[in-house]
Structures are given as structure tokens and as C-alpha cells.
Amino acid sequence: MMGVQLKVLIPEAEIQKKVHELAHQLAEDYANKHPLALCILKGGWIFFADLIRAIGISVECDFLSVSSYGTGTVSSEKIRLRSELSSCPTGRDVLIVDDIADTGYTLHELQRLLYAQGAQDVRICVLLDKPERRKVPVHLDYVGFTLPDRFVVGYGLDYGEQYRHLSYIAILEN
């Protein structure tokens, strides 16, 4: 993209250190629980893959494709489920794993849906949180980094389907 520059906000080593801290905490909290870990696609995939491998306890994995953004940087209130769970959340300890809590619409709605489907406990783990952007309340159980209101890319997060492959988090500057 012309005229767009990336400024590193969180380097790879810092992300990896944080992922291992979160994984350590999760391993303690979910010991003997065999949770259902739910990766929210597409943004959550790299974080999920690193986190799950670092947890080191038995975890069932499932994937849900959700979109709220179109191709730009503006969130929408309505989330769209583009796939269904292949597992049944009824009676399960569910851990939602996503890239970022922004307006909160996605996580708020997913948590509601999972409880409506009979999940016993639904916790949320995000790598990034932008609390200033919140439109609906959502309790985040595990948070990697709290960020100011800036649009970020990398480590799964995109802008117009670009930059997901970066192993660091960057701010997009015009």
C-alpha cells in the first residue's frame, strides 16, 4: 500500500514472553479441567497456535470464523458468524481466544451465545485490549497487553487482509 508505514509497537520477543506468562497462568487455572479452547478466526489464529502449544495441558481446540469489520478499520455492531462450532459447548469450560478486544461487540456476543448453548463457564483470553474503544461491557479474564486507541496490525491482525503474517505488532501510519 502506498504511503503506509509500519512502526513496531510490540516486538516478537515481548509477545512470546507474554504468551508464555499467559499460558502458565492458564495451565494453573485449567489444571484437570480439559477446557474447550475456541479460536476466533481470522485474527486469533497465530496467538491461539502459540498459546495452546505453550499451555502444556490437555485442551480441546475448536475454531469459529467471525467477522465484524469489513475491509477497513471501522467496527460494526453486528457480528457475523461465518462458521459453526464442530464441538458442543454444553456443560464445558470454554476459553475464547481472540486477538483483540476493541468495541467489545464480538466477545460480548460470543460469550452470550456460548452461555445460551449451555456452556458451564466461558472465559475470555485476548492478546490485546483497547479499553478506550469499548462500546459494550465485557469482562476479560486474561489480557496480554493494554493499548491506546491506535489501529494495529501483525501477529494475526490485518488491515484489508494484509500484515497478518508479521511476527510482531505494528502501528499503521499514513
- With CB under 5 to 8 Å by kind, the binding choice for 101 among ligand IMP, Mg ion, none is ligand IMP
Active site residue 98: no
- Quick check: 129 binds ligand IMP (CB under 6 A)? no
Residue 145 cell numbers, joined: 497487553
Q: Which stretch binds ligand IMP (CB under 6 A): 3-11, 15-23, 117-125, 145-153?
A: 145-153
Nearest alpha-carbon partner for 122 in 108, 133, 135, 137: 108
Q: Rule CB under 6 A: choose which of 19, 47, 98, 125 binds ligand IMP.
A: 98
CB of 23 closer than 8 Å to CB of 55:
yes
- Quick check: 168 binds ligand IMP (CB under 6 A)? no
Q: What are phi and psi of 116, to 5 degrees?
A: -65, -30
- Quick check: 154 binds Mg ion (CB under 5 A)? no
Q: What single letter denotes the amino acid at residue 112?
A: R
- 21-60: which residues touch ligand IMP (CB under 6 A)? 43
Q: Rule CB under 5 A: choose which of 9, 10, 38, 43 binds Mg ion.
A: 43
CA distance 131 to 173: 21
Point out which residues bind Mg ion (CB under 5 A): 43
Point out which residues bind ligand IMP (CB under 6 A): 43, 68-69, 75, 98-106, 151-153, 157
Q: Which residues are catalytic?
A: 102
